[in-house]
Amino acid sequence: MLAAYAVHLEQSRGRRFPEPAHPYRNDFQRDRDRVIHARAFRRLEAKTQVFTRRYSDHFRNRLTHTLEVSQISRTIAGALRLNVDLAEALALVHDIGHPPFGHAGEKALDTAMRAHGLCFDHNLHALRIVEDFEQRYAAFRGLNLTFEVREGIIKHSHDYASEQHPELAEYLLDQRPPLEAQLIDLADEIAYNAADLDDGYEAHLLSLEEIRERVPIFEKFFLEVEGIYPDAPAKLKFNESLKRVLNYFVDDLIRNTRQRIAGGNIGTLDDVRRCLERLAAFSPAAERERKRNKDFLYETLYFSPSLADEKDAAERVVGELFAFWMDHPESLPHNYQDKAKAESLSRVVCDYIAGMTDHFILEQYENHFGER
């Protein structure tokens, strides 16, 4: 049974282009399936999360990270009696707008766009993908997703001001998103904070000793695990501890959000939308632990000298290819040349690069500059 404050299917504002109901899938399940079958979703498999395949094929990429966020989101949504189908669709689509090379690629693309008075925002780009770039249907452009999924793409992690983004006016920018959308950004945090500790440890860029020393919540559970499994190999003790860390944040998010819903006298979806702040949140204690974990990853992993060369190379590849196509638009594929007749060239070049996989952009760089 869905809670009264969840998104109920009959409350949906529907699709931009009306379609007949499916005989055995509801609209949010159809949205989930459309995302999974999208070309942009498949390309996530070949886009860097933190580590390139130089380290290992076992490390997360954008696709496997997305699947982990989806699993966590379904668990949280179910526990809060939210619409699990909507939460799953939002989790699966939440990273679809990311460019190649992870955050280094995003930074370089945004820098290139700002030189032309514009910017790159992966949420806004994701909306362009599902509204325009994906072409699978004869009746309309894009995936024709429900309003609630499109709204969640925009609002799951960021509040946009209507004065700065009048083009997003239909997405109720003066209101909070439903709880199904609010939980996605927090599930994302839970997923990558745990996963990056795991991959960093596996890559030998983070030692067990420094994780125990710098991440108090991990140390707490590691001591618990040592008491239960004193003779287990270090890697299995690490795994058991990290599993408990992840579970701690999921449990806290569920409990604290429940308390905030009850404390705010939230009875309907409209109550959720009218709140002065987002309801989905960690408790103050868990938020402190989350920040310690994240600060540790930034200080020791994300800016690690071991990853610096790859990040510098990624930014150089993106920046130089952007400049090349701005100077030589005739070298763009014909469909992008056609788009440049109606849109700014910088936006078209940005769209082209943002859709690339790591492998394809390196191939393009080699084609145009003769080296990698």
- Res 43 pLDDT > 90: yes
pLDDT band for position 372 (50/70/90)? Answer: low
pLDDT band for position 50 (50/70/90)? Answer: confident
Assess whether 172 and 303 both reside in one domain: yes
> For residue 333, what are the domain limits?
318-369
Residue 211 within a domain: yes
Residue 14 within a domain: yes
Residue 3 within a domain: no
Q: Which of 255, 276, 307 is the last residue of a domain?
A: 307
Residue 257 contacts residue 234 (beta carbons within 8 Å): no
Residue 297 contacts residue 267 (beta carbons within 8 Å): no
Assess whether 173 and 67 both reside in one domain: yes
Q: Is 226 helix (H, G, I), strand (E, B) or coil?
A: helix
Assess whether 61 and 188 both reside in one domain: yes
pLDDT band for position 53 (50/70/90)? Answer: low
Q: What are the distances in angstroms from CA 290 to CA 190, 223, 246, 260, 367?
A: 8, 19, 10, 19, 43
- pLDDT tens digits for range 108-141: 999 999 999 999 999 999 999 999 999 999 999 9
Residue 88 contacts residue 70 (beta carbons within 8 Å): yes
Assess whether 15 and 76 both reside in one domain: yes
Q: What's the rounded Cα separation, in Å, for the pair 353 and 79?
A: 39
Q: Which of 307, 332, 356 is the last residue of a domain?
A: 307
Overall number of domains in the chain:
2
Assess whether 203 and 168 both reside in one domain: yes
Residue 313 within a domain: no
Q: What share of the chain in percent tops pLDDT 90?
A: 88
Residue 2 within a domain: no
Q: Give the per-residue pLDDT at 8.
A: 97
Q: Which of 307, 329, 347 is the last residue of a domain?
A: 307
Angle between the 62-79 and 179-202 helix axes, to the nearest 10 degrees?
130
Q: Give the per-residue pLDDT at 305.
A: 85
Assess whether 46 and 155 both reside in one domain: yes
Q: What's the rounded Cα separation, in Å, for the pair 178 and 151?
A: 9
